[in-house]
Structure formats: structure tokens, C-alpha cells
Structure 1
Amino acid sequence: MAIAESIVLRLAGVRTSFRFPDPIQVVEVRRFLPEADRLVRDRRHPRLLRVLDRKGRWIGLAARTAPTTDDLVGYQGPIDTLLVMDTEARIVGIALRKTYETARYVRYVVEEDAFMTFFNDRTLAELARLDLSEAEMEGVSGATMTSMTVAEGLVRTAQELQQQQQLEGSDRGPRSQTAGVVVRVRDLGTLFVLGLASVISLTHLRGNRSLRVAFQLVLIGYLGLINGDLLSQELLVGWARSGVPWRTAPALVLLTAAALAVPIASRRQLYCHYLCPHGALQELIGRRSRWHWRLLSRFSRTLQRLPGLLLAAVVGIAITEINFSLSNLEPFEAYRLGLAGAASLTLAAIGLVACLVIPMAYCRFGCPTGALLRYVRLNRKSYQISRGDLLAVILVATVLVLRMAR
């Protein structure tokens, strides 16, 4: 896809988007400019469309963030956003077009009027100079990554348009550089929790029970319920398909990198044992329970295969691109208050009830993300070929065959 876009750019001199091939339609613009009748491409700038009324009078401008933001990933994928302006290049409204993002997060952003109108009445030049951190843009609660991706996409698109210095009748101002990493207060909080977890896991502090309980409450309350920074298969598959959002979610990217790298380098399960809010909640509940069942060893071994089978199913869904929300296989969306689906809430409830009688029941018998982290963890048998290795080879071969068949 990227190669095809590069060829079109070289031959036609115009960037195109194969992710978002659908052009802007006049009906989309009419929502903000009711008198809009047709759209014509601006002669001086091919990325801009002039909005004309029935009499052919110029009444505004329209643009979209694709292809500028095709590499800008939210929680699961990029977003194409419509940008409508008046004749003075002053924003009158934005709208989300096609997205590869999780539908629930998109809906949450669209329904937040404060966010959707935040950019209104700014000129294109003002938008290009906008510093999201200084403007205290924290995004939409519960859908922060999605909303911040939209916000940065608008800024980057405005910067690209301004750098051409061809917009007639606008406040041009100085050229702006491409937006860099956006670090917000929530990112600093997540990084602090990550650093504290690393210190606890690598020192004698891990044996301090009071400190561990207090830290687990922080994981559940802050990292889980407030930030919603939990690893999941939906997250990892989304990044594998669309790229890593290191600009809009740097803390979550670092947390993910640490979760994958530390088990390989040190044999320690940093994320599962010291960072997972759901694991922390299970441990706290299990400690207070007086009813612990001892499963038959054969039954326990059978159940322990379930996370690996779920992980294989996730890979199968990912490579075949079946229309299925992977969040339905894990309980982690339950921590995104107001956004969680019935499947995630049900899994969370069942897992928490189960841990009353079976310690860490979900972690041991139901978590595909945990299975992935256990698979990459360095151990004494890492240099031997296992069934997991054979399954991984089969899945990779399947991916290659499907790619070649397209």
C-alpha cells in the first residue's frame, strides 16, 4: 500500500490514500455549509476543495486529514477527518469519516460536543501553530487515544497546508514543523507507575506486602479505571495492522515495550505480576477469600491450554481479517467505564467470581495476552523447540501464503 502511494506521488505529483480512497462528498460538507451545491478542486492547492453554492459562488473550503495522517494510529488504527472552513479559512466544523478505530471509541468521541467544537473559529494558520499540550487538550475521557489522534491529525494537516503557502485569503504566519510526540499528564502518570513497578520488581521492595497492596490499588484505580492503559489482543493486533502510536500514546507504547522486553531480558513477568490492573484486582480478591478449591491435576493441565488456544484464535482472526471485535475475548475493556461491551463485562465478572475459589483463575486459565507474554519469556527450555514454536511457524506460514494469494 505504501509502495503504491509512493508511485502515485512520483507520477502524479499528488499524495493519495489507499487506506481512505473515498473523496469528500458535498453531502458531508452541507452539514456545516447548508448552501453547498458542488465541490471543485482548488487550482493552487490540490488538497483543498472549494465549496460553491448553486450560483457558483465560493462559500467555503473543505479538506480531509488523509493521506497526511495515514500513519497516525489511535487505539487500533488511523482516522480520516473532514475539515470544513469558510472563505477566510476559519474552521466551521469537523467530522469523522472512515476509520480503522474501535467503533465504540469513535462513537464516544463524536458524542463529545466539547471536543468536536474545540477547533471551531480557529483559522487554518492558528490550527497549524496549535500546541496541544499548551492548549491543555487532554482528549475525551475513556477514548483518549482516539480523540488525541483526531486532534493531532488536524494539526498535522493544517501544517502541511500552511507549508504550501498557497491558501488564498488566510492568515499565513510562519511555517510549522510536523507535530512531534504529544506528552500529556496521563502519560507522565503512566510512566511514573511503570518506573515504580520496575523498581519494586527488581528490588527487595517486592517483599513488602503493605507496599504491594497500596501499589495494586494504584494499578486498579489509576492505570486501570482512570487511564485505561491495559495491554490486550485488540490493542496489539490493531498496532500490528496500522502501526504503533508512539506520537499520541508514548507512555502506553513504552509500557507495551517493557512488557515484551523484560521477560526476554530478565525472565521476570513485569506486566503480569506488577502492572496488570486486572491481575492486581484478582490477587486482592483471592487473598480475602477463604474458599480455595484444588483442581485435579489433569483438569488443571487441560484448562491451562485454553489461553494458548485463544491466542491462536486471535492470530487466526487477525490474519483472515474476520469482522470480530477481539475485545470480546478479554475482560480488559471493563475498565473503560461507559465503553465496555457486554462480553468484556461478563468475562470480567466471571473471572473475579472464579478467583474467589481458584486463585488468579483468569490469568491461569483464560488470558491470551498472558499466554503471549509467557511465550516470549526466557526460561531454561527457551532453546528447545516446543509445540508453541511449531504453532507459531504454522501461523507465520499461513500469513505468508495468504499474503501471496492476494
Structure 2
Amino acid sequence: MAVRLLTCALMLLAVAVQRSGRIAGHNLAVAGAESDSVVLSGTREAFVIDTRAIAADIKGYGGDIPLKITVSNGKVSRIEPQRNAETPEFFSEVQDRLLRQYTGMTPEEVLQSQLDAVSGATLSSRAAMETMKRGMEYAVNRQVPAKNAIDWSVLGSARFVISFCVVLMGAVVPLFVRNRRYRTIQLALNVLVLGFWCGTFLSYSLIVNYLANGLNRLYSVIPLFLLVTAFVYPFFGRKSHYCTWLCPLGSLQELAGSCTKRKWKLSPEKLKYLDRFRDGLWALLMLLMWSGVCLEWMDYEPFSAFLFTKASWIVIVIALVSVALSFVVTRPYCRFVCPTGNLFRITQNPR
């Protein structure tokens, strides 16, 4: 099992390099390929600040969020996000609803501002706000700002505490308690808290982003705990623990399936065909990623459909079809499609 886990980790590292050119936050690009200047051009009245040289340590969901900030006549006149690995649909909300609010502010006003994060894109929002303030601190003092102190208050927020309790329950209680009623409660909490309220789940995109950019301070505590249940629990005989006890989408499918007693009976031949389809799909997607083709498929796994106001229509449709089929087939997406779940399974089970 350890060999399979290491092999999958190396495969995903290759994907992370292909997607972002980084490993654990270290840029593998040729030195000097990007400018290390903070002020790109202009005069004291009108200048452009590039945050890549001063805010690379600030991480969103997919890594740093470099910005080119134009300051004209003492006010922010333009903000241009540069290439980043954030999920496009979610980051467009950050750009439209958050970054635009800084236009017309003075650097001092930006530093004093307390804007609200975009719901469902909290990590991207926080990173964008911290990056803006890092750039405006340079604009005011004309020297490289110190790195931001860790905001320990995150650990005390209601969202963190409640979601962490739900994850802890799903990770620990099933080790000692086998009760159908408790299982139903846990599945419902997964859907309501981890899914709709917090948008907390494992996905290919999250795993690849962590390999490429490293962990994101305190905001990675809960996802890291989920990764332990997915990759470490199997070493102690708890295979598929994350998929069966914590995944919000898997929980929603199971709850939907519990509403009906009659299910389609799939013959052994059909089950074998569906298993081959799942494995073939996973192999094809990995091959495409290694080739640098269609890396964007990771952004279309249906987990983000819980954040339905931000998710793309394709993601929502896939999620709705999966839940609808769950009434007649047990957990269809989990068993016959899910690339993330198949990754966990391949690291656990010999072929």
C-alpha cells in the first residue's frame, strides 16, 4: 500500500508541475523569467505595482493571486489579476464583487478597509484582500512589507468550530459506534455543514493545489484532517472511510437512496463493465493531465455544486444527475465515476 501511495503522490506531483510549475510553493521556472520589480512603471503620481515580488506567500485556494495595481493621483484606478490557479467561476466572483470595491480608494483607505469575503470563495477572497493590502502598504511606505502575522482568530470562528466538530465526529465516532440512526445524522451534517454551509470537501483540484503551493496556514487544518482519513486511515484497515463517512456528495447520494427501497438490480457483467469504465476514465484523465491537455477538468468535479451560486452549470447538472440516479442506484457517482474517489481506492487496493 505504501508503494502505491508513493506512486500516486509522484504522479500528482507531475500534474502539479504541469499545471502551475511549482512544488510546495517553490517556482520551478527558470530564474529571472518573471520580473522581481515591485513598481513596474510610472511616476509618483501614477504608477503600477506588481505584487508577485512581495505577496507570493499569500495563498488562496489554488495558490497566490498576483495583481497589477494601478494608482493614479493618489487613488486605485485599476486592478488587473494575473494568471492564477483559482477556480475560474469562483474567482470571477471575487474579482467582480470584491476587488472592484477597491477602485477609487486611496492606499490608506485600502489598508483600513474591512470588506466581507465572498461567500463560497473564502480562501480566494482572503488572499485577494491580503494581497491588495500588501501592495498598498508598499505604495505608502515604498519598502517591502513584512509578511502578515498568522490570524489565529480563524480557529475561533463559528464556521471553523462547527465544521471541525462535524469532521471529527465523522472521523472518530464510527471507529467505536455502529448505529444506523447516528449514521443518518452524520450524513445529514456532512451535507448541510460541510457541503452547503462551508464548501469543505476533497477533490483533485485541492490535492494538486496543495502539492503545488503547500498548505495554506490555518485554513488547511480541516482539509488536512480529511486527507488523513482518505490516505492514512486505510493503513489501519479503514478503507474508503472518507468516501463513506465524510464526503458531502457521497452523503447526499446515500440519503437520497435511502428514500426509496426499490433499486435497479445490476448484473455482475454490468458491474464489471462499470468498474472498467471508472478505471478507464481515471486513466484517460490522468494521461490528459500528464500531457498538459484538459487540466481544467479538475474544476468540474461536482463537489462544488454545493456552492450553487458560484458553481458552473455543468457542475450543477452533473451533481443533480448523480443525486437523481441515487434514488434507483446506490451512490452511482461514487461507485462508477468519481476520479477523486478512484484515486483513494487505487492507493488502497491491489489490482
Give the TM bin, normalised by the shorter chain: 0.7 to 0.9
Q: Return the offset for 1:86.
A: 5.7
CA distance in 1 between counterparts of 2:110 and 2:345 reads 49
- Closer, same or farther in 2 for the Cα pair 1:253/1:4, shift >3 Å? closer
Query: Secondary structure of the residue that 1:62 maps to in structure 2?
Result: strand
- Closer, same or farther in 2 for the Cα pair 1:99/1:119, shift >3 Å? same
Deviations 1:367-386 (A, max 9, x none): 11111112233xxxx6xxx4
Residue in 1 aligned with 2:81?
A: 96
CA distance in 2 between counterparts of 1:157 and 1:329 reads 32
Q: CA RMSD in A?
A: 3.4
Rg bigger for which structure? 1
Higher RCO by CA contacts (8 Å cutoff, separation 6 or greater): 2
Contact 1:125 1:158 in 2 (8 A): no
Query: Secondary structure of the residue that 2:42 maps to in structure 1?
Result: strand
Residue in 2 aligned with 1:51?
A: 42
CA distance in 2 between counterparts of 1:4 and 1:259 reads 29
1:196 aligns with 2:169: yes
Deviations 1:186-226 (A, max 9, x none): 3333322211212322222xx23333222222211121112
- Closer, same or farther in 2 for the Cα pair 1:248/1:198, shift >3 Å? closer
CA distance in 1 between counterparts of 2:328 and 2:28 reads 56
CA distance in 2 between counterparts of 1:96 and 1:65 reads 10
Residue in 2 aligned with 1:109?
A: 94
- Closer, same or farther in 2 for the Cα pair 1:317/1:260, shift >3 Å? same
Tell me, which stretches of 5 or more residues in structure 2 are unaligned? 1-20
Tell me, which stretches of 5 or more residues in structure 1 are unaligned? 9-17, 24-45, 53-57, 388-406
Q: Return the offset for 1:362.
A: 1.7
Contact 1:311 1:368 in 2 (8 A): yes
Residue in 1 aligned with 2:120?
A: 142
CA distance in 1 between counterparts of 2:265 and 2:343 reads 26
Contact 1:282 1:352 in 2 (8 A): yes
Q: Return the offset for 1:294.
A: 1.8
- Picking from 263, 278, 288, the partner of 1:292 is 263
Residue in 1 aligned with 2:62?
A: 76
- Picking from 286, 293, 298, the partner of 1:315 is 286
- Closer, same or farther in 2 for the Cα pair 1:279/1:4, shift >3 Å? closer
1:180 aligns with 2:158: no
- Closer, same or farther in 2 for the Cα pair 1:285/1:4, shift >3 Å? closer
* Aligned AA (2:150): G
- Picking from 290, 296, 307, the partner of 1:336 is 307
Q: Return the offset for 1:249.
A: 4.0
Residue in 1 aligned with 2:8?
A: none
Q: What TM-score, normalized to structure 1?
A: 0.68
- Closer, same or farther in 2 for the Cα pair 1:122/1:221, shift >3 Å? farther
Deviations 1:238-292 (A, max 9, x none): 3334444345544333333443222234424331111111111111111121221
Contact 1:272 1:279 in 2 (8 A): yes
Give aligned-pair identity as a percent: 23
Contact 2:62 2:84 in 1 (8 A): no
CA distance in 1 between counterparts of 2:27 and 2:94 reads 32
CA distance in 2 between counterparts of 1:3 and 1:330 reads 27
Where do residues 363-378 of structure 1 align in structure 2 (5 Å cutoff)?
363-377=334-348
Where do residues 20-59 of structure 1 align in structure 2 (5 Å cutoff)?
21=34, 46-49=37-40, 51-52=42-43, 58-59=44-45
Deviations 1:69-91 (A, max 9, x none): 33544223432112344666x65
Structure with the larger helix share: 2
Deviations 1:343-383 (A, max 9, x none): 32222222222221221222111111111112233xxxx6x
Residue in 1 aligned with 2:7?
A: none
CA distance in 2 between counterparts of 1:308 and 1:140 reads 37
Residue in 1 aligned with 2:9?
A: none
Where do residues 101-250 of structure 1 align in structure 2 (5 Å cutoff)?
101-113=86-98, 116-117=100-101, 121=105, 123=107, 127=111, 139-157=117-135, 161=138, 166=142, 176-180=146-150, 183=154, 185=157, 186-204=159-177, 207-246=178-217, 248-250=219-221
